[in-house]
Chains A and B, each alone.
Chain A
């Protein structure tokens, strides 16, 4: 690297010029970083690569490890020779990726999670857009406290809602607490998407409302006024002008919601009474099907995990493109 030689020569010249002060190499180097812009940018670049490599290793290593496990035949996973430093597959068995679908209908579990996540995302984005418009663009008494009340929903652990929701979704009448008046009898929703999409929407709404409120509040009033004078209603202005201009925010909220629901297991494992794809059991439920009382097929679990992650990877890549193109098209300028 020419930069290094340059640094060295500079260090030498500095050492010569400051020979009477008798500084050590570290002090000289520090002095160089402070006074010399080239040396400083070299340091910054080095730090950038160090940190980037650290994050890449920590995030990508699990995927690599999944791949290694998926390719290693199951009997070799426990018996294998896992000598450090290089963890490599102990065999080559790509057949696992096919076997994943042969043993159980894994694609149905993926489909379930995908449908649940898509439905929840659509519901959340529509409702959060309306709420975000109201909180971000309208002035009304009680706006602050109301926003706080909505955010409070996300303070509770989801488990706190589980028992009453399970009661209700299994078709028991809903009774007002303390006074014992029966309010209504909900339909029996367990084993249907409704039992999962409803609580997910409620749980993930506050975050999306918060994100969209801040984004919608930034759109200049003039643009909404212009749209309304041109012929839209307030609602039309929201969906035709404010939402497209907030595309990065909408994409962020949508991706966060989608991923959260796609990976969700706690609620769905309980609302789907059996771990069957026909009962809307999710992806993680499917993964656990490879574990039986007597054996655990680690290689299939790893292969299925990789297969299950793919839709999210595709989605994030597409959404990221959307975010970047939204930014470069000058969507936020005005």
Chain B
């Protein structure tokens, strides 16, 4: 068990910077997920911790030891690979005991540990099988057993569930969480699947283009994303964005406006270009806003496409009275808005509706830099613009600067 620290770690290849000035401190016993899109440097970061790749600059500590130049075998790490990487010419027992045999443990000790590890991952009775006689899930369990049998200081898992089918993946996800509880070892877990990251980890490190965007507990990343990238990456479906600018009365974009007092936004002034972000579940039709503490003025919209998911329905809205459909799709200035509604809602396609946004869940970002300006905005005093019966105006605008608290506070209104 050990702390893992990365100090100003940079990895440069001939023409690209894979990881740029990464500073990361992972506490003893913590489960940290590195997430990001393909090519964001998460696997490279992992390989540098494992010792398979040497950083161009910076240093890496595991526990109190500077391991920057140590070979992988001397780092006290064990790794589970995306392609499982069992040795195909060895049976399960030989695979699991490979590391122990290399370290010249006695036979009884090896047997004891292999038995224990295969117990944990429920592989009893399969020790004499060859890897190609096993199913994907069994092989993955062998790979995990091979990692835990060495009782390493740090577990590294590089998308270990990526090659499994959806059902097995969910099952292995809970098994890994149980394993973490049982072993209480530091785990670094790389994934591009944000659902895995959200459900399993103590903290999520979001990476993009080789740079660390945010490292926080999952719900903080979800509710108070540090910048546009994190906001767009965490959450499925993604957050709605609308580009616009700050005006004396609040936020104004091509298709709609939201009233608030711009002076409450630190670090921004009237006339700045900002991007407003709102998650689909924080958009409501006007007939469902009774339990909203503070809603914005209603916006006219037309429903476009419905996507019933079973537990909720995603509704694509086209904003504006003319309701021209923009084919631009994903661009930030589009007049589309995604809303999630109850599955028992009787909403129809091509229906005119009025929607409001939950003020406490509105995010504002600086368009140029992408940094978060505010999470939640207060009503303009006395304007009464909020269409809802929200009496207790404003639950205290959370700004990007203070990241504490109020994470789950507004969760209950759904």
Q: Which A residues are closer than 8 A to B by beta carbons?
A: 220, 222-223, 225-233, 236, 241, 244-245, 329-334
Contacts and interface: CB of A to CB of B under 8 A. Distances in A.
B52 A230 contact: no
Contacts of A334: 83, 85, 88
B89 A244 contact: yes
A62 to B, nearest CB: 38
12 contacts: A220-B85, A222-B85, A225-B52, A226-B85, A228-B51, A229-B78, A230-B73, A231-B102, A241-B87, A245-B89, A334-B83, A334-B88
Given A225-B81, A229-B72, A334-B88, A329 B102 contact: no
Given A231-B102, A330-B130, A226 B87 contact: yes
Interface string B237-250: 00000000000000
Contacts of B132: 330, 333
Contacts of A225: 47, 50, 52, 72, 79, 81, 85
Contacts of B47: 225
- Say whether chain A's binding surface is mostly helix, strand, loop, or mixed: helix
Contacts of B79: 225-226, 229
Given A220-B83, A230-B150, 18 more contacts: A222-B83, A222-B85, A223-B87, A225-B50, A226-B86, A228-B52, A228-B72, A228-B73, A229-B50, A229-B52, A229-B72, A229-B156, A230-B73, A230-B78, A231-B150, A233-B73, A329-B88, A333-B88
A129 B322 CA distance: 72
8 pairs of A and B residues whose beta carbons are closest in the complex: A222-B85, A230-B99, A231-B102, A226-B85, A330-B132, A231-B73, A229-B79, A228-B72
Contacts of B73: 228-233
Interface of B: 47, 50-52, 71-73, 77-79, 81-89, 98-99, 102-103, 130-132, 146, 150, 156
B368 to A, nearest CB: 39
- Among A222, A244, A329, the most chain B Cβ lie within 10 Å of the Cβ of A222
B63 to A, nearest CB: 17
A231 B103 contact: yes
Nearest to B133: A330
A226 to B, nearest CB: 4
B88 A245 contact: yes
A173 B7 CA distance: 58
A227 B83 CA distance: 14
Contacts of A230: 73, 78, 98-99, 102, 146, 150
Most buried by A among B87, B88, B146: B88
A230 to B, nearest CB: 4
A228 B71 contact: yes
A225 B87 CA distance: 11
B144 to A, nearest CB: 13
Nearest to A241: B87
A165 B86 CA distance: 48
B4 to A, nearest CB: 15
Given A229-B77, A231-B73, A331-B88, A222 B82 contact: yes
A189 B374 CA distance: 85
A331 B77 CA distance: 27
- Tell which of A228, A230, A330, A331 has the most Cβ of chain B within 10 Å: A230
Contacts of A245: 87-89
A223 B130 contact: no
A307 B156 CA distance: 59
B87 A331 contact: no
A331 B89 contact: yes
A232 B82 CA distance: 20
A235 to B, nearest CB: 11
Contact of B71 (A222, A233, A330): A233
